[in-house]
Structure 1
Amino acid sequence: MSVTGETTTTRLTARGAMTRERIVTAAADLMYVRGVGATTLDDVLEASGVSKSQLYRHFANKDEIVRAVIQLMGQRVIEREQNALGRVSTIAGLRRWRDALVKNNALRHGAYGCALGSFASEVADHDVVARQMLLSLFAEWKDLLAGAIRRLQEHGALPREAPIDELATGLLGALQGGYVLAQTARDVTPMATSIDMALRHIESLSTS
């Protein structure tokens, strides 16, 4: 996925690339915990240990940092989901995927929610570039879920007429809604319940 709107992203020296990475990583950690709005450029400067001139050499403004953070967080999420969903071909496999997400979120008591969902709620209304990036990432995530559900169909667990894309959209929606409920309650139980409802619907279509 390419990122538009960034400043100097080509022909960076090794040191420049490391500096940029420090800025983006520090900003990602802060924005995931505090939120985008509550994270200032001064916060990023302090956390990354770079100078103001170094920061502005790589990013013209906060919006460009946010876009770089979305790219980083998106890569992390998609890589995780590719590893988790890439070979899933059974309902049991989908339940193991669900268990891993809930368990991981329980380590934080559900406090921070989904990184991509949190960014979407904060930036989608005022940054078209960021919104398009997030839209692309969610589409990629949905496609990974659709791939897993399609493999259920190919192995005979679902009928040929099963609406794969609709089921994948519903499952992703249940997951994202579950993240929000868990974040509000500081408890992963609503998240687990939301995903379970979606999985039970998929299972109800089973041909076995």
Structure 2
Amino acid sequence: MLTKKGAATRLRIIDAAASEIREHGVNATTLDDVCRRSGTGKSQLFHYFPDGKEELLLAVARREADRVLEDQQPHLGRLTTWQAWESWRDAVVERYRRQGVHCPLGILITELGRTTPAAQEVTGQLLAQWEAQVRAGIETMRESGNVHADVDPGSTAMAIITAIQGGVTILMSTGSARYLESALDLCLDHLRWTGAAPRGSRNPTPL
């Protein structure tokens, strides 16, 4: 088990690697770059990551996956009213607008997620956890009569996450969050239209 100082050093190495990957990509990031950025030596790096770059990349993938979900809280876990969904939507858009081309979601899926099978597994776990929380919100809204009973929570949650990822990918390419906003708004409007709210209403009265 790591000491507090050891855990801090390990995290500093991971964060340095994540920053290098965001700026230069996986293939262009070297262990020397990570050591220089983190202020550590090769011996320290291999102490925490004996298998070298592949083990470090997996740690970065896990760190980025955690950040994706953490960045959406507490809103993601409280999708029980239309007002809550709007707050979550605004938090998602604002977060990725601030992060721009350096967002953990894009790095995880477009860079790390295609690097190794282990990193792909981390990406899959992230998407499963994310889908479960969005699905739980849709199920709650369906039970309260705000979403039609025929709506499939699972497939709808997957569509919402896919819309976000598509918008983030374009944001990383163009620097514009408009595509992310439009995709997410369309998904939430679809949910509203299936419920009791008037068609086209952007701000139904919260429960």
Both structures adopt the same fold (TM-score exceeding 0.5): yes
CA contact (8 A) 1:36 1:119 kept: no
The corresponding residue for 1:48 is: 38
2:84 pairs, out of 90, 93, 96, with 93
For 1:52-71, list aligned pairs within 5 A: 52-59=42-49, 60-71=51-62
The amino acid that maps onto 2:37 is: A
The corresponding residue for 2:147 is: 158
The corresponding residue for 2:128 is: 139
Unaligned runs of 5+ in 1: 1-10
For 1:109-188, list aligned pairs within 5 A: 110-112=100-102, 114-188=103-177
The question of 1:198 aligning with 2:192 is answered no
The whole-number CA distance in structure 1 between the counterparts of 2:178 and 2:72 is 21
Q: How much has 1:126 moved relative to structure 2?
A: 4.0
The whole-number CA distance in structure 2 between the counterparts of 1:126 and 1:141 is 21
1:146-189 deviation digits (Å, cap 9, x = unpaired): 11111111221012221000110000000000001111111111
TM-score (norm 1): 0.86
Q: Equivalent pairs: percent with the same residue? A: 33
Let me know the Cα RMSD of the aligned residues. 1.8
CA contact (8 A) 2:106 2:172 kept: no
After superposition, the Cα gap between the structure-2 partners of 1:111 and 1:126, relative to the gap in structure 1 and judged at 3 Å, is: closer
Q: How much has 1:206 moved relative to structure 2?
A: 1.0
After superposition, the Cα gap between the structure-2 partners of 1:18 and 1:123, relative to the gap in structure 1 and judged at 3 Å, is: closer
After superposition, the Cα gap between the structure-2 partners of 1:171 and 1:33, relative to the gap in structure 1 and judged at 3 Å, is: same
Bigger RCO (CA 8 Å, 6+ sep): 1
Q: How much has 1:66 moved relative to structure 2?
A: 1.0
The corresponding residue for 1:4 is: none
The amino acid that maps onto 1:129 is: A
TM-score (norm 2): 0.86
Count how many residue pairs are aligned between Structure 1 and Structure 2: 196
The question of 1:25 aligning with 2:21 is answered no
